[in-house]
Structure 1
Amino acid sequence: MKHLKKITLAFTLTASLAFTAFIPNADAATQHTVKSGETLWKIASKYGVTLNQLKTTNKLSSNTIYPGQKFTIPSTTGVSAADIDLMARLVHAEAKGEPYAGKVAVATVILNRVASKDFPNTVSGVVHEKANGYYAFTPVQNGEINKAADAEAKRAVNEALAFRGQGSGSLFFYNPKTAKSDWIFSRQVTVTIGNHRFAK
């Protein structure tokens, strides 16, 4: 009987250790080892965190980094995975065929609206905002928002998250060739990228 208990205990311990080996290490997703050619900006963009978050979390006083350095990636950006996907789908629909910088700028407009007291304070609220029977963004109105985002749109959203709080405060974008509202032309233009003008 004692022998059977020992075998059972050994089996339980082995099974427990084997099971533990397959559980992802919670810290693995939050650690990053710097590779040659990487910059803080590239690392922040890769993980969709702001430069300031990355620097603060790792107690960095400058932007100088070295290959082999290990960084802890902040666990929260204040934006959920579902919101990041929603933003990427909007960027994909709104900025298809536009330069990459324009895609980042569209994502930045969404984040700037979330931060502004004049708009809803969530990504979903901003994307689905409605006034006078119309959605703020055409792809929400026509259903294009429901199409999957491509890799470039996802990367643009991560870059916008890293860039958050450092831009020129754009709250709007429009194509001057197709815009129908006189009001939008009254807004202060911050930058023109591709076919889009960005304004505040």
Structure 2
Amino acid sequence: MKKLIAITTLAAAFISGTGFSAQAEETYKVQSGDSLWNIGKTYGVSVKEVQAINNKGNHLIFPGEALKLPTPVSEEEKDLLARLVHAESKGEPYEGKVAVATVVLNRVDSDIFPDSIKEVVTETSAGGVYQFSPVKNGEINKKADEEAIKAVEEAIAFRGDGNNSLYFFNPDKTSDEWIRTRTVTKTIGNHVFAQ
């Protein structure tokens, strides 16, 4: 992945009010009962990236094993993404919230979108229109609920897997014809996800 960088510093912080704790280190010593999934969610890193930088072809890890960890998503960007998910996905099923977060992460990883969560979320079209309506209407400024925070953690750990959706829309709320020309990957609740 284009953003894969080994961490060279040890950091631990808790950002109060966001529900996320940032813990990053160059390596992580596997404890009994650990899984790559839980390590990914705890440290804010992609399981797939952990596997790649540790040359693992499967999910097997062993107590005492030292794993290199990729650069985690920052607390600021996790919070911004959770607020976007909260605003975009009110009333949607949990799976849809994870999918909305995944669309943003897929855009960050894509060569056709900006390279950070903040830049993707605040990006405007050539006509100056925000890509996500909550940025325009101010809903992005409201605190995320626990379900949105959990969805973001899951999407980050799941990053790099899935159906590569780069867009989502509610067909009942948009008249945009271009978005309807995209290849549909999945429909969850009221949202259609597409490439």
- Aligned residue number for residue 169 of structure 1: 164
- Aligned residue number for residue 50 of structure 1: 46
Alignment of 1:45-194 (within 5 A): 45-56=41-52, 60-65=56-61, 72=67, 74=69, 76-77=71-72, 79-131=73-125, 132-194=127-189
Name the CA distance, whole Å, in 1 between partners of 2:68 and 2:43: 8
TM-score by length of 1: 0.74
TM-score by length of 2: 0.76
**What RMSD over aligned residues (CA atoms) do the two structures have, in Å?**
2.6
The verdict on how the C-alpha distance between 1:198 and 1:34 changes in structure 2, with shifts beyond 3 A counting, is farther
Aligned length: 172
One-letter code aligned to 1:118:
I
Is the CA contact (8 Å cut-off) linking 1:103 and 1:153 kept in structure 2?
yes
**Structure 1: runs of 5 or more not aligned:** 1-22
One-letter code aligned to 2:115:
N
**Structure 2: runs of 5 or more not aligned:** 1-11, 14-23
Is the CA contact (8 Å cut-off) linking 1:110 and 1:127 kept in structure 2?
yes
Is the CA contact (8 Å cut-off) linking 1:46 and 1:155 kept in structure 2?
no
Is the CA contact (8 Å cut-off) linking 2:48 and 2:160 kept in structure 1?
no
List per-residue Cα deviations over 1:109-149 (Å, max 9, x = no partner).
Answer: 11111122222222111101112232110100100100111
User: Which structure has the larger Rg over C-alpha atoms?
Assistant: 1
One-letter code aligned to 1:176:
P
1:60 positional shift: 4.4
One-letter code aligned to 1:128:
T
1:168 positional shift: 1.2
One-letter code aligned to 1:41:
W
1:84 positional shift: 1.1
Is the CA contact (8 Å cut-off) linking 1:30 and 1:75 kept in structure 2?
no
Name the CA distance, whole Å, in 2 between partners of 1:128 and 1:104: 19
Is the CA contact (8 Å cut-off) linking 1:40 and 1:63 kept in structure 2?
yes
